[in-house]
Structure formats: structure tokens, C-alpha cells
Amino acid sequence: MTLFDTLYVAPPALTAQAPILAIAGPLIGACAAALSPGGRSGWVISVITAAFALWMSLAVACEVSRQGVLLYVIGGFQPPLGIALRIDALGSAMALLVSTMGLIGAVYSGHALVSEIRAETHTLFQSGYLLCLAGFLGLVSTGDAFNAFVFLEVSSIGTYALVAAGEQRDRRALPAAFNYLIMGTIGATFYVIGIGFLYGATGTLNMADMAAHLSILGDNTAVQAGFAFVVTGLAIKAAIFPLHGWLPGAYAGAPSLVSVFLAATATKTAIYLIARFTFDVFPDASTFGQAFLHVVLAPLAAVSVIVCSVQAIFEKEVRRMLALSSVAQVGFIMLGLSLANAAGASAAMFYIFAHALMKAALFMALGALAISVRARTLDEFAGVAREAPWTAAAIGVGAASLAGLPLTMGFIAKWKLVEAALQGGVIWMVAVFAAGSALTLIYAWRMVEALFFSAPVPGARRAREAPVGVLVPLWVLVALSIWFGLNASLPETLANSAAAVLFGTAR
């Protein structure tokens, strides 16, 4: 029995509608924010809506813990003919992650947007933010392969506009958003082509029904082509090396709120879909699925860990350094999935939670500093700890978790990956984890050294400590990274339950 089994957070009538309300709430909130009279009212709507989405996601997670799988039929038409939301332990864990980061980001946006976004666009920005939140929540909740594409595009449309909104702070945001748009469109096109192949082979778009048909069909050319298109399209969305070219520019040029939310959710939801198709929709990962994991995914992920970490070491601009680091960390996650066992999947899910917290905290801290100083490079951040000790301390904790130092969630995440690799007898993967962690420690130390031990550049604009409205959500993330480094029972339970779904051991 877990905490969620005995937890009732909403009345039964509301809980029964919670799956759809978690998605509809942000969609309605997006419309309300766009029509709100000013930036402050838009912010209030965003916070209330994100809090409601988290409440509903928590209610869903509790019901999933008690029932195993929650099926919500839309319009009274039963699947596979009708559209349904089908939420299991994997989907509910991802929904909790997305909605939690959505609320933290919404609170943070109250002060962070002032220095980065034109005042007249604040309401539209909050609307786009809630649109992204709705898209990501729908993506991890739907049981329909085509509607996963719809929600993928709903989130992407908002994301492209949000990245471009950073042009006031950095003109590079405009070409970065265009590059993101082109790559995202290619990825979505590949995905929907793949779904077309699978629909032609199975005659259904419902994922559970598709899985049943595929278990009978076995391997054929149409199915293999569908799998290849789906995985390639999602690999672009997940920024898996070498299809990650859009990510560094998008993260570096976007407003800090966008970088925070994307780093914590965007690539993670795409990875979720890859795992869902590879292990859940396709029977036992299928023969060609196993070949993809071991021959394609694992080598590319290993190269990503090493190459992107080395690039991050030599990068001078802090936000691009963290963006390249995100690609490397995606490599860690995909290595865990490529083990194709429950231990590897659990370790990968745990790493998703850990990376969401640590990287969101780092981007949020950079955004907090951007309120008072427009610094880009490590040299321009030199000595900031003297003027903004709380913000600098948050960066220090985030860097420690990123490097996998003890007493942080990042340490447990890396240790679980090592354990899973040893259980699977994949010794070379342990060497990759060790090398990647050592390289991560180097560029993490570069940030800490600049902030705490370097002298300020003469004549540079000095930073100020961030407002309380920014420090509170920032330190919530930092506290969670530390707490889960000391007591990881909650994320570990969620990760184990999610892995059990993928490998058919869930109740």
C-alpha cells in the first residue's frame, strides 16, 4: 500500500471527471488569460489554473493507485471506436510531473516576465503557457495514438510562440523559434506518417487495441515502417542526439520561464511516448524494437552523453551550456530505457524526475539573476554570490545534483542507472555513466567557480537578490532535490509503478 492508495483529495463526483478536467482546465484558463485586462490578472489566472490542474492530476494519480488503470470515455462512445483517456501508473506519474512544474512555473512568472517580456504581451504569454500545459497533460493521458499527435501539436504551437517572445531580451530567440518550428514540424510529420502506417496495418488508432492487433500481426513491412517513422519523429521532439539541433538555441534564447518549463517537461513527454510505443504498444518491444534499442538507441545515447558533455565544458554562455547538458542528460535517460528491463525503465523514470527538478532550478535561478543583470557568459556571472547569495546557492545545489554528488536526488538517479546496468550485465554502459558524470562535474564546477570564487569583472553591472516571489518557487525546487536525495521513497514508488506498466508486471 502506498500513500496514494489512502489519499482522497477531491469529492467522488469531481474525481470521476478529473481526467478530462485536468486538460480542460488549462484550455479554459488559456482563453481567460488571453481575454484578461492586464498582466497581473493574467498571472493570477495562470496560477489558479495550474493549481487546479495539479489538483486534478493528483486526484487521478490516487484513483490510478487504487484501480490500476483509469479509463475515461469521451462522448459515450466506447473505444476503440470512440476516443478515450487511458491513464495508468506511467501516465499519472508524468501528469504529476507536468502539472507540478506547471504550477511552480506559473508562480515564478509573476516577477520573472517583467524584465524579459513586453508588458503588453503578458496576457498572451500566459495564455500560451497554459496552452502548453494543456497539451502536455493531454499527451500523457490520451489512449489514442492520433490524439497524442493532436496534443503534441497543441503544446508545440504554444511553445514556438513562447520561445519567440524572448526576442526582447535576446534577438536570437526569433531564429531559434523558427528553427524549433521547422524541426518540430518535421518531427510531427514523421510521427503522423508512422501512425498512418500503423492504422493501415491494424485498422485502429486506440493504443490498447493497436497493441492487441500487433501482437497477432507480428513483424511486417508496414508495421516496421510505422515504428521507424514514429520513433524518429519523437526522437526529434525529445532532442535525442543527433536530432537535437533545435534545442540549444531554443533554451538559450527563450524567456527563462519557457526554458524552465521546456527543460522539465517537453523532452520528457516525448520520451514518455517513445517508451509507450516501444514497450507497451509493440509486443515485448518486438524484434525490430529490440534491434532499435540495442543497435541504434544505446550507441547514440552513449555518444550523446560524452559528446554533448564535452561541448558543454567548452561553452562560455551559461544557458547554452545548460541546454547542451540537457541533451547529454537525455542520453542518460535513453541508456536506461535501452536496457529493456524493469530496472532500467525505473531508473530512467527516476532520472526524468531528478533532471526535471535540477534543470528547472538552474534555469529558474538564471532567470532570477536576469531580473537585475543581463549576463550571458560565465565571466559576466563572476562573483554574483556576493550580491545574490540565495540565488547563487540555488545554482550551487542544482549543479551538485546535476553532477550527481551525494545527498542530492541526482546522485540517487545516477546510482540507479548504474545498478540497472550491472543487473543487465552491460558493463560498458557503467563506464559511460562514470565518464559522463565526470564530465558533468567539470562544467558544473565551472559555474560554481564563477559564482563563488571568481572576482567580478571591473565595471560590470552588479546583480541584486531576486524578489521573494521568485525565490520561493526556486527554493521549492531546490528543497525537493535535497529532500528526495535524502528520502527518495515517493519518486521511487512512482518510477517503479511506471516501469511495472511498461513490462507487464502492474496489477
Domain membership flag for residue 60: no
Q: Report the candidate in 391, 387, 351 with the shortest Cα–Cα distance to residue 474.
A: 391
Residue 436 in domain: yes
Domain range for 423 is 295-507
Predicted local distance difference test score (pLDDT) of residue 506:
47
Q: 362 or 74: whose pLDDT is higher? A: 362
Provide the 10 A C-beta neighbour count for residue 221. Answer: 9
pLDDT in tens, 410-459: 999 999 999 999 988 889 999 999 999 999 999 899 888 888 887 776 66
Over range 380-394, report the average pLDDT: 83
Average pLDDT estimate for 243-264? 82
pLDDT score of 164: 81
Measured distance CA(63)–CA(17) in Å, rounded:
11
Q: How far apart are CA 72 and CA 86, in angstroms?
A: 6
In a domain, 258, yes or no: no
Residue 22 placed within a domain: no
Domain count, the chain: 1
Domain contains 465: yes
pLDDT digits (tens, 9 = 90+) for 338-367: 888 889 999 999 999 999 999 999 988 888
Contacts of 176 (CB under 8 A, 6+ apart): 163, 246, 249, 250, 252, 253, 254
Please indicate, yes or no, if residue 365 is contained in any of the structural domains: yes
Q: What is the pLDDT of residue 507?
A: 41
pLDDT at 169 (0 to 100): 66
Task: Tell me the average pLDDT of the chain.
Answer: 86
Question: Which of 145-159, 161-175, 443-457, 459-473 has the highest average model confidence (pLDDT)?
Answer: 145-159
Q: Does a structural domain hold residue 156?
A: no
| Closest to 98 in 3D by CA, of 286, 391, 285, 352 | 352
In whole angstroms, how large is the CA radius of gyration of the chain? 21
Q: Let me know if residue 230 belongs to a domain.
A: no
Produce one character per residue of 232-269: b if its CB has 16 or more CB atoms within 10 Å, e if not: bbbbbbbbbbebbebbbbbbbbbbbbbbbbbbbbbbbb
